[in-house]
């Protein structure tokens, strides 16, 4: 199988001591590509730097709703400059998060809206974050897009009505290791059979959301573990894992407009964007 971790944060300092081993683990698991996703100005710069250093790694830049209070027009201009690098293939993660309210709702909505504008201006697909927005996230998206939006709802954890709405807007759905968890993943397992195969992506959100059975051995997630999510997804849907992996690989590359090597190597290699 050839797999693509469509959303991770492996620029985190948690990987500094053994980053090349993380890449080797990816290669051994058949994970040939990974999208490293930024959350604010400094983090986005770090994401681009890390992606630029290794083939098979790509970057998304943006301001997470938790960091919206620190956003500004100057920040967006800086991020736009980062998108000039050929490894930057998406804008995100952006959206609304009313769970812990690290940023006021007004700031979250203002900078979410502005980042939709910027992504449209640049022609980049969007990586969306939504948590406990009580319908406001969908309301804002629906006011802008009736269909055909290039993007993915990262770490989908919604209900059937929300899933149907995202699919109607043309969005992809990102499935994490939550799917593998006995209690927490129950509702998600009832919903994934309703997602068309051509809209599915798999992701780790590393270093978070470690899937079973890896979570019994380590708390830190890593891109290699996306294989466990893919295998569980295939099992829940009653599909052949290799066939599903091929579809999801194509979905991810199509969404992000990239083609990566057949295997991830930590030495330089040729790739096309």
HEC-encoded secondary structure of 11-59: CCHHHCCCHHHHHHHHHHHCEEEEEEECCCHHHHHHHHHHHHHCCCEEE
263 has pLDDT over 60: no
* Residue 270 CB coordination number (10 Å): 6
Mean pLDDT, all residues of the chain: 94
Cβ atoms of 223 and 31 within 8 Å: the answer is yes
DSSP, collapsed to helix, strand or coil, labels residue 137 as helix
Please tell me whether the overall predicted TM-score, pTM, comes out greater than 0.85 for this model.
Answer: yes
Stretch 72-84: mean pLDDT: 98
Residues facing 92 on adjacent strands: 127
What is residue 266's predicted lDDT score, i.e. its pLDDT? Answer: 44
Of all residues in the chain, what percent are helix, strand and coil, respectively (each to 5)?
Answer: 45, 15, 35
Stretch 193-216: mean pLDDT: 97
DSSP, collapsed to helix, strand or coil, labels residue 61 as strand
Domains of the chain, start order: 3-256 (3.20.20.140)
Between CA 210 and CA 156 the distance in angstroms is 15
Tokens linked to 187:
């509702």
What is residue 261's predicted lDDT score, i.e. its pLDDT? Answer: 54
7 is in an annotated binding site: yes
Between CA 18 and CA 127 the distance in angstroms is 27
Q: How confident is the model at residue 259 (pLDDT cuts 50, 70, 90)?
A: confident
Alpha carbon of 187 to those of 40, 149, 260: distances in Å?
31, 26, 33
154 is in an annotated binding site: yes
9 is in an annotated binding site: yes
Between CA 47 and CA 52 the distance in angstroms is 9
> Each residue of 158-188: pLDDT tens digit?
999 999 999 999 999 999 999 999 999 999 9
205 is in an annotated binding site: yes
172 is in an annotated binding site: no
Q: Among the listed ranges 20-34, 112-126, 253-267, which one has the minimum average pLDDT value?
A: 253-267
117 is in an annotated binding site: no
55 has pLDDT over 80: yes
Stretch 184-196: mean pLDDT: 98
> Each residue of 1-33: pLDDT tens digit?
899 999 999 999 999 999 999 999 999 999 999
What is residue 272's predicted lDDT score, i.e. its pLDDT? Answer: 38
Cβ atoms of 47 and 37 within 8 Å: the answer is yes
| Terminal CA-CA length for the chain | 22
Stretch 138-161: mean pLDDT: 90
Between CA 212 and CA 179 the distance in angstroms is 9
How would you label 195-222 residue by residue, b for 16+ Cβ within 10 Å and e otherwise? beeebbbbbbbbbebbbbebbeeeebbb
Cβ atoms of 11 and 46 within 8 Å: the answer is yes
Between CA 36 and CA 58 the distance in angstroms is 6
Residues of the chain with pLDDT > 90: what percent?
Answer: 92
The helix-helix angle for 160-168 and 136-144 (nearest 10°) equals 20
Cβ atoms of 40 and 64 within 8 Å: the answer is yes
């Amino acid at each position: 199988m050839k797999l693509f971790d469509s959303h991770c944060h492996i620029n985190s300092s948690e990987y500094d001591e053994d980053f090349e081993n993380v890449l080797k683990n990816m290669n051994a698991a058949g994970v040939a590509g990974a999208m490293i996703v930024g959350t604010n100005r400094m983090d986005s710069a770090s994401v681009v730097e890390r992606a630029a250093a290794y083939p098979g790694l790509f970057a998304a830049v943006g301001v997470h709703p938790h960091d919206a209070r620190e956003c500004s027009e100057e920040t967006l201009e800086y991020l736009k400059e980062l998108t000039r690098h050929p490894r930057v293939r998406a804008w995100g993660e952006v959206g609304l998060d009313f769970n812990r309210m690290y940023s006021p709702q007004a700031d979250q909505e203002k900078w979410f809206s502005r980042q939709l504008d910027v992504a449209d201006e640049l022609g980049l697909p969007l990586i969306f974050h939504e948590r406990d927005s009580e319908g406001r996230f969908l309301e804002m998206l629906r006011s802008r897009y009736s269909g055909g939006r290039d993007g993915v709802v990262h770490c989908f954890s919604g209900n059937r009505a929300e899933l149907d709405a995202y699919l109607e807007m043309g969005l992809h759905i990102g499935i994490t290791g939550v799917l593998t968890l006995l209690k927490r993943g129950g509702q998600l397992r009832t919903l994934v059979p309703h997602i068309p195969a051509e809209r599915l992506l798999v992701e780790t959100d590393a270093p978070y959301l470690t899937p079973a059975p890896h979570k019994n051995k380590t708390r830190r997630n890593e891109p290699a573990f996306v294989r466990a999510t893919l295998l569980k997804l295939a099992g829940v849907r009653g599909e052949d894992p290799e066939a599903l992996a091929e579809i999801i690989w194509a979905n991810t590359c199509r969404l992000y407009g990239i083609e990566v090597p057949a295997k991830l190597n930590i030495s330089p290699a040729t790739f096309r964007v």
